[in-house]
Amino acid sequence: MAGRATKIREQPGVEFVELPGPGTVAVVVAEEVDEPLLERCRELMRGCDGRRLVLVVSRMRGDELARVIECGVSAVVWRRDATAPALLATVHGADRGDGALPSELLERLLAQVGRT
């Protein structure tokens, strides 16, 4: 992921900051969804109107999608798919207010909504 981050840093209009402010896009990278990750997402979103949150994750169980959405995640990218161009496109989309999910997660979400 470090190589991808370097490629993204090289793009015009992208600035990496340690503590993003309101109106920015935060990118969180993790192997899996667990309680510390969810708490970090909540912290990043707390009191920051207009911030968008992109989650790059290796794996996610079915029930975890709703939990990450509840924490404020607006886009999810599989780590295996997080090439510099794909991640940059997702960050730009999140900045515009677009949501994004891998197709299999979107199918899961639609099935969950259909059951409720």
Within a domain: 12? no
Token pair of 55 as six digits: 């989650």
Sorting pLDDT into bands at 50, 70 and 90, what band is 20? low
Within a domain: 3? no
Q: Could you tell me if residue 97 is left (phi over 0), alpha (psi between -120 and 50 degrees) or otherwise beta?
A: left
Within a domain: 8? no
pLDDT at 19 over 70: no
Q: 42-67 pLDDT, tens per residue?
A: 988 887 778 899 999 999 987 899 89
Within a domain: 70? yes
Can you tell me whether residue 78 is helix, strand or coil?
Answer: strand
Within a domain: 108? yes
pTM of the model: 0.82
Within a domain: 6? no
Q: 73-106 pLDDT, tens per residue?
A: 999 999 999 888 899 899 999 999 999 999 998 8
Strands (E), the chain: 25-32, 52-59, 73-78
Within a domain: 88? yes
- Residue 88's CATH number: 3.40.50.2300
pLDDT at 1 over 60: no
- For residues 41 and 71, the answer to whether their CB atoms sit within 8 Å is yes
Among residues 59, 13, 15, the alpha carbon closest in space to that of 5 is found at 15
Count of domains forming the chain: 1
Quote the distance between the C-alpha of residue 77 and its chain's center.
7
Within a domain: 4? no
Supply the pLDDT for residue 18: 59
Sorting pLDDT into bands at 50, 70 and 90, what band is 13? low
Which structural domain, as residue segments, surrounds residue 109?
Answer: 23-115
